[in-house]
Amino acid sequence: MKTRIAHFNLLLLGLLALTLNFSCKKDDANPAKEFFSDNGHVFTYKLDGDDIVFNLDVLSDRTLGLLGTYPDIDIYRLYVDVDNNGVVDKDIDLMFSLGESGTCMVTLVDEFSTSACSYPETVNGTRSFGKTGNSSTPHTSFKVSIPKTMLSKSTKANVVVHLFDSATSWSYFPSGESLFDKTFELSL
């Protein structure tokens, strides 16, 4: 009887090891791709099924501006040039940011105005403060998952990131003359 239990336990351990090995290999098949990095920031994106997951590490932000109200809060804005034409198109191009009820999505009316927030169930985001794979020093980071179909109708997406750090104010990545003058082009 003890021999059967020992064999059964070995079989379970073998299945567990196989399962862990498979899940690690699946994750390694779509590693995160860095689209911007400097001394204070690391921005990555990762294909996850039908979604794109963005990670915005603000390494330079070592203050916990998570629960305050403007201007004592840390926020991001992820702008998307949906039709990839380099200009803001009314009611086509989008912006995502954390709102009061989750991840807010708005359509751009022009470079400076938007529609009201909607909160699509298919868009999810978080804001956190702590260590990440990019730094062992606690800092602010944002994560947002967006369906590929919202980002672009093609195999690429053009995005711009704006960050507000309660300690330093706004930063723009990349910085251009107009909102979509310069963008990060991401392969989907």
Report whether 46 contacts 138 (CB < 8 A). Answer: no
What is the tens place of the pLDDT at every residue in 119-142? 999 999 998 989 999 999 999 999
Q: What is the value of pTM for the model shown?
A: 0.82
Q: Are residues 139 and 179 in the same domain?
A: yes
Q: Are residues 60 and 139 in the same domain?
A: yes
CA distances from 154 to 17, 83, 84, 166, 186 (A): 39, 8, 9, 36, 11
Q: Are residues 68 and 12 in the same domain?
A: no
Q: Are residues 10 and 56 in the same domain?
A: no
What is the tens place of the pLDDT at every residue in 10-65? 443 443 343 334 344 445 678 999 999 999 999 999 999 999 999 999 998 887 76
Q: Are residues 78 and 151 in the same domain?
A: yes
CA proximity to 168, closest of 62, 80, 88, 92:
62
Q: Are residues 5 and 64 in the same domain?
A: no
Domain that holds residue 16: 1-30
How many domains does one find in the chain? Answer: 2
Q: Are residues 115 and 81 in the same domain?
A: yes
Q: Are residues 89 and 2 in the same domain?
A: no
Q: Are residues 159 and 149 in the same domain?
A: yes
pLDDT(181) > 90: yes
pLDDT(175) > 70: yes
**CA dist., res. 121 & res. 116, Å (int):** 16
Domain holding 150: CATH number?
A: 2.60.40.1190
Q: Are residues 130 and 145 in the same domain?
A: yes
Q: Are residues 99 and 166 in the same domain?
A: yes
